[in-house]
Structure 1
Amino acid sequence: MKKLPEILKIDPKAKTKAYKKGHIIQHTGDSNALAYYVKKGLLRSYIIDSKGKEYIFMFASENWIIADLESLEFNNPVQLFIDCLEDSDVIIFDKNCLFKTEFSKEKIAENTQLLYRRIGKLQRRVLMLMSSPAIDRYTYFLNTYPELPNRVPQRMIASYLGITPQALSTIRGKIVRPK
């Protein structure tokens, strides 16, 4: 049995809940933002624009945590939908869990390092969306989420990369059949 991250052990109110594929766990506009640790399955967070187009922000597979961080931190209404791409078991916890004082200095330093690593990955993704060719963004996606191409529809990967499914198909063909 895999050991749970320390942060999940300190919230006695945290509960595991099973969701079916397609279930929307969090809706935009919800007033109570929560965080979700994926024990089993696959979640995604996304927004939908005024024309009904989806933009995927993040995927979370086993051992990842997913949340609308801005809503969680500032107690604003939720901006991101979170739904299940597979049947999933998740541990649900609230913001207060993140600020428990029982952490040792070493554990606080470790959690801060993990947070900085996550922020660094998000910064790199934003910079790549602004300036990198789609093939580089796809390569970065493959390195970040190596198991997902077999678990996620191509249209969702394309949405995450900010390209069309047709462009993704072309890129995948170039990677499989290099010149």
Structure 2
Amino acid sequence: MEIPAAYQSLRTHLQARVPLSDDDFAVFQQYLRLQTLNKREHLLQTGEPCTHLAFVTQGCLRSYSLNTQGQEHTLQFAPEDWWVSDMYSLLTQQPSTMNIDALEDSQVLLLAQADMETIYAHFPVFERYFRLLMQSRFVALQERVNASLSQTASEKYQHFLRKYPGIAQRVPQHFIASYLGITPESLSRVRRQL
């Protein structure tokens, strides 16, 4: 049976990280739901419970929070081949404190949190995959915190370009500045210097 392109991109992603049989993926695929998002459409909004992990097969999403003055703070960009979610809300079942929206017309595969334990119990390969994913995300989070405390604006931007190759041409500069924790004017200066 031929696998639709959106599902094939996830299968390729998984197989690059863990050994995966055709049968395992066929069962896993049954737990996934394909969703299309238009540019600026939200996948998740503050106050809603987060019930899914989303794997981006096409487009680019962004997670962000709002401070009390309504200023946006970009937490993550999720281009193709990335997962995005509000892990705090997903794991604690508390209302989300962040928003996730599409920066481009996008397509995601949704995996319900409620199905994850079933998948883990029957398919240890997926428990291994998601453990590796969480470890990687924890390391990235620690790097980001350390960078925000110790790196210059120029160093932060150069690290961003390495982490998200190609994204600088796809998303508005003010979102990148928000991600870096600097003003758009500071980002313009850094880009001119580089």
- Give TM-score scaled by structure 1 length: 0.89
- Structure 2 residue 33 is the aligned partner of structure 1 residue 27: no
More helix by share: 2
Q: What is aligned with 1:133?
A: 152
8 Å CA contact 1:43, 1:82 repeated in 2: yes
- Shifted more, 23-32 versus 42-51: the winner is 23-32
Q: What is aligned with 1:117?
A: 136
User: Structure 1: 5+ residue runs without aligned partners?
Assistant: none
The CA deviation at 1:92 is 1.4
The CA deviation at 1:19 is 1.1
- Give 2:164's match in structure 1, choosing from 138, 145, 164: 145
DSSP-derived class of the 1:10 partner: helix
Alpha-carbon distance between aligned partners in 1 of 2:123 and 2:171, rounded to the nearest angstrom: 36
Alpha-carbon distance between aligned partners in 2 of 1:14 and 1:110, rounded to the nearest angstrom: 16
Percentage of pairs with the same residue = 33
- Structure 2 residue 177 is the aligned partner of structure 1 residue 161: no
DSSP-derived class of the 1:120 partner: helix
Deviations 1:8-46 (A, max 9, x none): 752624211111101111110003432211110000000
Residues 169/147 of structure 1: CA separation in 2 closer, same or farther (3 Å cut):
same
- Give 2:122's match in structure 1, choosing from 97, 102, 122: 102
DSSP-derived class of the 1:58 partner: strand
Q: What is aligned with 1:45?
A: 63
Alpha-carbon distance between aligned partners in 1 of 2:90 and 2:129, rounded to the nearest angstrom: 21
Deviations 1:83-136 (A, max 9, x none): 0000001111211333321223x5533432232112101110011112211111
User: Structure 2: 5+ residue runs without aligned partners?
Assistant: 15-23
Q: Cα RMSD between the aligned structures?
A: 1.9
Moved over 3 A (4+): 5-9, 106-111
Alpha-carbon distance between aligned partners in 1 of 2:50 and 2:188, rounded to the nearest angstrom: 39
Between the two proteins, the alignment pairs up a number of residues equal to: 174
